Amino acid sequence: MMKTGIKRLSALALVASLVGCANSYVVLLPNPDGTTGKVIVTGKKGQQVIDQVSAAVPLDGSKAPEAISGDKIQRDFGAAIAARPLIPERFLLYFKSGGADLTAESAALLPKVLKAVSLRPAVDVSVIGHTDTVGDKEYNRGLSLERAQFVANLLRKQGLKVHALTVESHGERNPLVKTPDNTAEPRNRRVEISIR
Amino acid sequence: MRTAILLAGMLLSSTVLADANAIGYVKTLNGEASITTAGKKVKAEVGTAIFQGSQLKTAAKSSMGITFKDETVMSFGPDTELTVDEYLYNPSQNKLKLGSKLTKGSLNYVSGVIAKLQPSAVTVTTPTGTIGVRGTQFAVRVEE
């Protein structure tokens, strides 16, 4: 009798706590690459940080993170999770110094690029050219555009079919590796391809 | 619209863009959803463009997935409303911002390049609190 009473009480408390947050909450999920990040919730009733997978907090920040079940995640987010588009893919192609010729390793990546493109519905692709800091900025802006166009044309010749394509030139302003001016850096002589 | 984008994509020869202001596209759709931009409402289809200020809505028993230019991926369950209030993606000039507002429903969020380059530039606001994103996947639900 006593035991039942306690059970009933704790069930009531559970219901009360669920109603208390009105089921408006955020839950951390593992990243597609297997790592875990974090989210910070700032609400009317406080601030909470979640850094554990499956931990949840109400959006008003009133309670510390608490693990929730896979069943609940499925019930509340199954449809949203199932609708998730394929995670975008990114390729980096590298150039021989000073020109628009791909290194052999990078030329060999092109079939993988086309494959990633073909897997995605309404695929939109950005081809973004970059240089190192050898030469002046204007020259490099032109060179990085030339590199991006070269790669875009190469992909078209190999049968690229896209919903939208953008070709961009970042010159020497967006290096992968920060260097002083006039520094030859093979890792900065690149074209990024973002496939979404 | 779709043909125009494709054509422009094929004719593209410089930095001129087909749909220069598009910040993302619908990639998956189940059931019914709509995109409202600057007061104009269109029925969502796979390939429909999203713009800064677009209001995205899914109907009952429907879901939709969007991929943004910076590789942020958002997908929505049924009866969901989200507005993309601010979107800036210009890494070479350090102009980065992704502010969205979820007013009801369910959202699965995978952060992209903006969150990687400038974590403080990414927020999801809800009626009761704001979520700051530090390079991660999460799910958020707003019940009225």
Residues 17-56 of B with CB under 8 A from A: 17-19, 22, 24-30, 46-47
pLDDT of residue A9: 53
Residue B139 and residue A37: Cβ atoms within 8 Å? no
Per DSSP (E only), the strands in A24-163 are: 25-29, 38-43, 46-50, 55-58, 66-67, 89-94, 124-129
- Distance set, CA A57 to CA A24, B106, B136 (Å): 9, 15, 16
For B106, the closest of A36, A80, A85 (CB atoms) is A80
Per DSSP (E only), the strands in chain B are: 24-30, 33-37, 40-43, 49-50, 55-58, 63-68, 73-76, 81-90, 95-110, 122-125, 129-134, 137-142
Domain locations in chain A as residue ranges? 2-82, 89-195
Residue B139 and residue A44: Cβ atoms within 8 Å? no
B134 touches chain A (CB under 8 A): yes
Q: Could you report the per-residue pLDDT of B74-108, keeping only the tens digit for each? A: 999 999 999 999 999 988 788 999 999 999 999 99
Nearest to A124 by CA among B62, B108, B19, B83: B19
The Cα–Cα gap between A184 and A168 comes to 22
pLDDT of residue B54: 97
pLDDT of residue A71: 97
Residue B133 scores a pLDDT above 80 = yes
Residue B142 and residue A61: Cβ atoms within 8 Å? no
Query: Using a CB cutoff of 8 Å and minimum separation of 24, what contacts does B94-98 make?
Result: B94/B118, B96/B70, B96/B121, B97/B121, B98/B68, B98/B70, B98/B72, B98/B122, B98/B123
pLDDT of residue A7: 56
DSSP class per residue in A52-77: STTEEEETT--S--EE--HHHHHHHH
pLDDT of residue B3: 42
**Domain A89-195 annotated CATH 3.30.1330.60:** yes
Quote the distance between the C-alpha of residue A156 and its chain's center: 25
The Cα–Cα gap between A89 and A106 comes to 16
Residue B67 and residue A38: Cβ atoms within 8 Å? no
By CA distance, what is B47's nearest residue in A? A122
pLDDT of residue A173: 84
B95 touches chain A (CB under 8 A): no
A69 touches chain B (CB under 8 A): no
A99 touches chain B (CB under 8 A): no
Q: Could you report the per-residue pLDDT of B64-83, keeping only the tens digit for each? A: 999 999 999 999 999 999 99
From chain A, the residues in CB contact with B73 under 8 A are: 84-85, 87-88
Q: Could you report the per-residue pLDDT of A140-187, keeping only the tens digit for each? A: 989 889 989 999 999 999 999 999 999 988 888 888 899 999 999 989
What ipTM did this prediction achieve?
0.87
Residue B92 and residue A50: Cβ atoms within 8 Å? no
